[in-house]
Amino acid sequence: MTKTSTPQVVRSYLGELDRTLAGVPDDVRQGIVAGVAEELEGLDAVAAASRIESLGDPAFIAAEARAEAQAEARAGAAPNPSAAILTPSRTSEQHWYVVVTALLLEFGGLLVPLAGWVAGIMLLWVSPLWTRGEKLVATIVPPAVGILLFSSLAIGGSGISWWHAVVLGALAGPALASIVIGIILSRRGWFRARP
């Protein structure tokens, strides 16, 4: 792929990936960057942006590569560049993973208060199927909805009891927000997942 025919989004992503892989053994770093470049080769800007979104954040890829290199160093094995290219996250790129994550986001907090939702958020953050922005929205919006709704009901002089403010604000509001976000993210993750 020549520099002039390579979309800017690809050049930027590969540059950021190369920078975030600083400290990873050179052969592993070069193998990862070459593998990702090969995967993006020949794509136009729109297709490349979509594929980059599914590949995930370069910092996540670099963290996985560092963990792989450290594990191999402890085991005394030579680093394997091809094994470091996103192999630890393959499970988190499958359809069943999307379904489990979405169900935990939507209903986990209702089944196991707070812990179920937290488990869904953890599964969401380790998967490259969702963008950082989507992960932040899923993490921040439900608690923010709960705090705002509870505050407006409890402090706003709406005339309802504290108990109703807690149920409606701190429980129902975040649950509804989680369900809506879970549905949206499950659709996006489903189309990005590997069959």
Q: For 99-131, what is each residue's pLDDT tens digit?
A: 899 899 888 887 888 888 899 999 999 888 888
From 50, 186, 38, select the one nearest 124 (Cα to Cα). 186
Q: Tell me the sheet residues that pair with 194.
A: 94
From 144, 133, 195, select the one nearest 173 (Cα to Cα). 144
3-class state of residue 86 by DSSP: coil
pLDDT band at 90 (very low <50, low <70, confident <90, very high): low
* Alpha-carbon gap, residue 190 to 18, rounded angstroms: 29
Indicate whether 46 pLDDT > 70. yes
Task: Give this prediction's pTM.
Answer: 0.52
pLDDT band at 83 (very low <50, low <70, confident <90, very high): very low
3-class state of residue 194 by DSSP: strand
Question: How do the domains of the chain map onto residue ranges?
Answer: 8-88, 92-192
Total Cβ atoms within 10 A of residue 48: 21
Q: What is the CA radius of gyration of the chain?
A: 21
Amino acid at residue number 116: G
Both tokens of 97, joined, read 């993973």
Q: Where does residue 7 fall: left (phi above 0), alpha (psi -120 to 50 degrees), or beta otherwise?
A: beta
